Chain A
Amino acid sequence: MSAMGALSQLLALVTALVLAPLLTGWVNQWRHWLQNKSGPGLLQPYRMLHKLFQKESLVAEHASQLFRSAPYVIFGCMLLAGAIVPTLSTDLPLSPAADAIALVGLFALARVFMSLAAMDVGTAFGTLGARREMLVGFLAEPALLMVLFCASMITGSTSLTVIVETLAHRELAIYPSLLLAGVAFTMVSLAENARVPVDNPDTHLELTMIHEALILEYSARHLALLEWAASLKLFVYSCIGLALFFPWGVAEAHAPLALLLALPVLVFKLAVGGMAMALIETVSAKMRIFRVTEFLGTAFLLAVIGLLVNVLLGVG
């Protein structure tokens, strides 16, 4: 482990922690602007985190230890994911510990804990949210895996850092299978991050919420950690997308000074991605929960087609 490596790893962690709420705020703000509203401001997530950390945590009487520890586990998973995904640099000492498949496993771990915690207290909404969350996850995970496999087939490895390095160094080429995988990935990330058209992050109506139902019972620091974890999840998903489909500008192991360039490039790419996400959210209508299966099924099958096209055309 070189010093540069440790530094870039630390920097990646800190960037993730700091930028994630900003990204959430950015997306929400753009949604409001596109709908001709004035919005709460870019820094609203920070303000909310600050407020929540100062409050007193209220926990139900018969809540188990799982309920209390779940936010920490989930936050830890997301933080580790943020450490693995090459956001600023591919020189990440932690990256050999987990490749793309393990990344999906991390998300799955977080999801399981979230669902169990929601059911732990025994309210109706919690169970409802847990069931829906598992449904979405059940369908989204294979799709995400297939998308990652598409990229892996082209580059020959499942490690995200290797994928980024290989793709960034290839000459500009149009990979049809990546086109299909891109569409599939967009659909999956909309589902996993509880965005319209799968789930409305603004809503508190019981019939329409998935994510909100899961965290309904939490308060104060637990809630803060969960909201932060959700922001981190959005951040990590965006970075995965950027790594697979727009990998240029990420610093490499032997170019430490590129780290300085990598940060503005990342911010710029995330900004554009955030705007695009807000646009998709504004244009789409939230679909019924029964249609979510079709939506994610389509994503899965698009990713599989991408794989098949790769095999057929012999090229990406």
Chain B
Amino acid sequence: MSTLAPQLINLFATLILLLSFSMISQRRIVSLINLFAIQGAALVAASFLLGYVTHQPDLYVSGVLTLVLKVIFIPWMLHRLIRKLNVRWDVESLLNVPTTMLVGIALVIFAFSLALPISRLSQSIAGGSLGIALACVLLSFMMMITRSKAVPQVIGFLSMENGLIFAATTVTNGMPMIVEFGIALDVLVGVLILGVFMFQIREKFDSLDIHNLETLKDDSA
């Protein structure tokens, strides 16, 4: 049992990384949302497992919070949103998929090398996953930059929060409860605002292509 738990947590961490990569290469928005939900589920499982192993009830609460918010509510809301906005189709990307993957690899190497000295200092049993969490954050960041439609940008933003919560969970067994609630509230409100915005962007531009949102420049009057 003592070696099984860290292995399982490493497994979940690898799964989360795998999902981040598949989100980058995914073209259909519906699958993107589902992958995001699965990533949230892996995060919840890791929280529960860690809570069970370290006997910290805070992690259970954090897990439930993530479950309600990121596995159930936000994917449901996003599905409803894309149904109303009618944006099921293939997603264009700034870079083609192989280049995206190569850049992703570079980011992963960067994140791992950055985190390696620190994860050795961690007290938690899952400290080695800090590099993976940072890699997920950077990959989501890249997804936000290279996608040209609004919904994948939002999902990239949310997936970045996933990576950060995962980092907090594994490295320090979660953050103080009040901070976690604050973060959850912020994320929720953020997604609601973004949802509202997407409607308005759609109304104004008749499309959710972000390229329409690049007209403000320095010498424009």
Residues in B with CB closer than 8 Å to A311 are 112
- List 10 A-B residue pairs with CB atoms under 8 Å apart, sorted by A's residue number: A173-B7, A177-B14, A293-B98, A294-B96, A294-B97, A298-B101, A301-B101, A302-B18, A305-B18, A315-B10
Q: Which of B73-81, B102-110, B174-182 interfaces with chain A?
A: B102-110
Bound CA span A23–B13, Å: 36
Residues in B with CB closer than 8 Å to A294 are 25, 96-98, 101
For chain B, what secondary structure do more than half of its interface residues adopt (helix, strand, loop), or is it mixed?
helix
Q: Is the CB of A174 within 8 A of B112?
A: no
Bound CA span A52–B160, Å: 58
A309 within 8 A of B: yes
Residues in B with CB closer than 8 Å to A297 are 97-98, 101-102
Q: Is the CB of A315 within 8 A of B7?
A: yes
Question: Considering the complex, which residues of chain A in the window 115-168 have a beta carbon less than 8 Å from any beta carbon of chain B?
Answer: none
Question: Considering the complex, which residues of chain A in the window 232-246 have a beta carbon less than 8 Å from any beta carbon of chain B?
Answer: none
Q: Is the CB of B97 within 8 A of A305?
A: no
Q: Is the CB of A305 within 8 A of B21?
A: yes
Q: Is the CB of B14 within 8 A of A179?
A: yes
Q: Is the CB of B101 within 8 A of A312?
A: no
Question: Considering the complex, which residues of chain B in the window 107-158 have a beta carbon less than 8 Å from any beta carbon of chain A?
Answer: 108-109, 112, 115-116, 119, 128-129, 131-132
Q: Is the CB of A312 within 8 A of B131?
A: yes
Q: Is the CB of B10 within 8 A of A302?
A: no
Question: Considering the complex, which residues of chain A in the window 280-309 have a beta carbon less than 8 Å from any beta carbon of chain B?
Answer: 293-294, 297-298, 301-302, 304-305, 308-309
Asked if A302 meets B21 with Cβ closer than 8 Å, knowing A179-B14, A308-B108, A309-B132, the reply is yes
Residues in A with CB closer than 8 Å to B97 are 294, 297-298
A180 within 8 A of B: yes
Bound CA span A301–B24, Å: 12
* Complex partner residue of B132 from A183, A298, A302, A312, CB under 8 angstroms: A312
Could you say which interface size class chain B belongs to?
20 to 34
Asked if A301 meets B104 with Cβ closer than 8 Å, knowing A174-B10, A313-B128, the reply is yes
Q: Is the CB of A309 within 8 A of B8?
A: no
Bound CA span A311–B3, Å: 18
Asked if A305 meets B105 with Cβ closer than 8 Å, knowing A174-B11, A180-B18, A312-B128, the reply is yes
B17 within 8 A of A: yes
Asked if A298 meets B25 with Cβ closer than 8 Å, knowing A312-B116, A312-B132, the reply is yes
For chain A, what secondary structure do more than half of its interface residues adopt (helix, strand, loop), or is it mixed?
helix
Q: Closest chain A residue to B116 by CB distance?
A: A312
Asked if A312 meets B11 with Cβ closer than 8 Å, knowing A293-B98, A302-B21, the reply is no
Q: Is the CB of A183 within 8 A of B18?
A: yes
A96 within 8 A of B: no
For B3, B17, B96, B102, the residue with the greatest tally of chain A CB atoms inside 10 Å of its CB is B17
Q: Closest chain A residue to B130 by CB distance?
A: A312
| Additional A-B contacts beyond A176-B10, A308-B109 (10; CB < 8 A) | A173-B7, A174-B7, A174-B8, A176-B15, A179-B15, A183-B18, A305-B17, A309-B17, A312-B132, A313-B128
Residues in B with CB closer than 8 Å to A293 are 98
Q: Is the CB of B128 within 8 A of A314?
A: yes
Bound CA span A302–B96, Å: 17
Residues in B with CB closer than 8 Å to A305 are 17-18, 21, 105, 108
A102 to nearest B CB, angstroms? Answer: 27
Q: Closest chain B residue to A179 by CB distance?
A: B14
Residues in A with CB closer than 8 Å to B18 are 179-180, 183, 302, 305
Residues in A with CB closer than 8 Å to B132 are 309, 312
